[in-house]
């Protein structure tokens, strides 16, 4: 099992940037596809971004394309989410997740991920 801890959330104004980090422990994540999801109050969990286990492929939800960038540093067992041009609609609890079943592709379906962090809150408000 992989333990995931997110950090970097906070309260920012519209147009600002944040970088979320997800540090893994317990196992190396270098062979795992990783994803970021978010859940706003009263809404379903939404796929934000995913990165392949090799790091060569990235995927984004339609609402964040062109503004968010996912990356990984396997040497640090860490995944990042750079968020630019934040909007009030980006307000949510952001979760990091691992497809720890092995070298499987990125998925936008939350049930395909085996391990989850506790989340970090991002609030975008003026």
Nearest CA-CA partner of 105 in 49, 57, 48, 46: 57
Q: What angle do CA 33, 12, 82 make, to 5 degrees?
A: 25
Distance CA 19, CA 34 (A): 16
Q: Over pLDDT 70: what percentage of the chain?
A: 100
Nearest CA-CA partner of 48 in 39, 33, 36: 36
Count Cβ atoms below 10 Å from residue 100 Cβ, excluding itself: 20
Q: What is the pLDDT of residues 39-75, one digit of tens each?
A: 999 999 999 999 999 888 999 999 999 999 999 999 9
């Amino acid at each position: 099992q992989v333990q995931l801890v997110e950090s970097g959330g906070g309260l920012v104004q519209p147009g600002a940037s944040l970088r979320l980090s997800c540090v893994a422990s317990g196992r190396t994540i270098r062979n795992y596809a990783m994803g970021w999801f978010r859940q706003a109050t009263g809404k379903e969990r939404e796929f934000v971004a995913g990165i392949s286990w090799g790091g060569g492929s990235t995927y984004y939800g339609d609402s964040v394309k062109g503004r968010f960038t996912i990356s990984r540093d396997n040497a640090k067992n860490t995944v990042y989410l750079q968020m630019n041009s934040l909007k009030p609609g980006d307000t949510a609890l952001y979760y990091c997740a691992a497809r720890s079943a092995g070298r499987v592709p990125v998925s936008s379906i939350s049930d395909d991920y085996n391990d989850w962090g506790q989340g970090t809150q991002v609030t975008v408000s003026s």
